[in-house]
Amino acid sequence: MLFGAAKESAQLGRHGDEFSVTLHYQNKAVPARAQVFGEGEVLDGKDGKGVEIVVPLTEAADGPLCSVICDLPEWLSLSPEAQAFLSDIFPTDNKAYEAVFLRKIHRYGDEALQYFVARQLSESFTGMRAYRVGAAVVMTYKSIELNDTDLQKEALDHVKMQLSHVGECEITNHPRTNREHLEVSLLCAQWHLELSLRRYDEFFSTLERCRSVAEGITNFFTPAYNLSMALLIYCALLARRGDVEKASEVADEGMRIFKSAVASATQQLTLFQELRISHRNVHLMLCTTKPDKRADADFNLYVQCSLRVTGDAVERLKKAAFDIYPVQEAGRS
């Protein structure tokens, strides 16, 4: 989905109009027809009368879509951002990836378009393995936000594939390239998908894997953020099941990880700030295990603080979590 701006003669165009495009894949060019949606509505919120442009893709293509050349009608123009995106959809090296995809603020398009770009990168990017890992993580949260089961299943396959190759990444001082951080990030993505798909046995197995992976981590400064979310939802569900003893074990692990993360902290501002989230989550873990707190346990808050999604996806994942144990059970050992 792209945004275009209608010119003053926009009355010449109408909802459903089509124009020619050429889809340039890695190994061939494919002619196609793009369709315009909207008649003067301000859809992009920027340049006056906006329209949405849908570009069809072909399943028969071999390799990633690299660029799209548009034969625009006279009444239609593309925003500079759309033009830049279409001319260079698939980054071919690390520098290009960093310019258009590494950070959220640089990614173009809506959730569906970002998912498409991330899928291409996870499948075909030839630069650092770490960047393919990052793309699989983006696929995860976009598929959950889109509430598309098929995309979530596909994203889960990509996450598992990248987990099988994460050992190719190195230990670095940056979370987007550090193997320990990336492995935990993939596992966090995996349990989100398994929860959303209600694959509860796999979901709990992945939470246990988070615990075992944590045992081998050498520096918790950045992995602590994702680990705190995994351990919080695990701790909350154990306590809700009534297994306070195991919940206490998980909370103790969370405390040790947080202490180690603080001891390893640097002055990287964003990463240092994320320690506040880890601190909050460990505090909530402890709340689930204390006798004086369990009577007023706010499981809604515990689960919400463990999630990395936003908007409607939060409520969907909370319901999936509460459906595991619909009623809080009495404490047992």
Query: Which letter does DSSP use for residue 332 in this model?
Result: B
- What is the three-class DSSP state of 295? coil
Q: Which helix (H) or strand (E) holds 88?
A: none
CA distances from 12 to 45, 76, 94 (A): 21, 9, 43
State how far the Cα of 216 lies from the Cα of 213, in Å rounded to an integer. 6
Q: What is the pLDDT of residues 165-188, one digit of tens each?
A: 999 999 998 999 999 999 999 999
- State the pLDDT at residue 75: 82
- State the pLDDT at residue 273: 87
State how far the Cα of 176 lies from the Cα of 127, in Å rounded to an integer. 13
Cβ–Cβ < 8 Å for 308, 188: yes
Q: What is the mean pLDDT of the chain?
A: 88
Buried b (16+ CB within 10 A) or exposed e, 57-70: eeeeeeebbbebeb
State how far the Cα of 237 lies from the Cα of 190, in Å rounded to an integer. 17
State how far the Cα of 277 lies from the Cα of 272, in Å rounded to an integer. 10
- State the pLDDT at residue 57: 76
For residue 237, is it left (φ>0), alpha (ψ between -120 and 50) or beta?
alpha
Q: Mean pLDDT, to the nearest integer, of 113-127?
A: 96
In which band, very low, low, confident or very high, does the pLDDT at 46 lie, cut at 50, 70 and 90? very low
Strand partners, 21: 32, 70
Strand partners, 31: 22
In which band, very low, low, confident or very high, does the pLDDT at 243 lie, cut at 50, 70 and 90? very high
Q: What is the pLDDT of residues 121-166, one digit of tens each?
A: 999 999 999 999 999 999 999 999 999 999 999 999 999 999 999 9
Q: What six digits make up the tokens of 66?
A: 């690299």
Cβ–Cβ < 8 Å for 280, 287: no
Is residue 292 pLDDT above 80, yes or no? no
Q: What is the pLDDT of residues 248-257, one digit of tens each?
A: 999 999 999 9
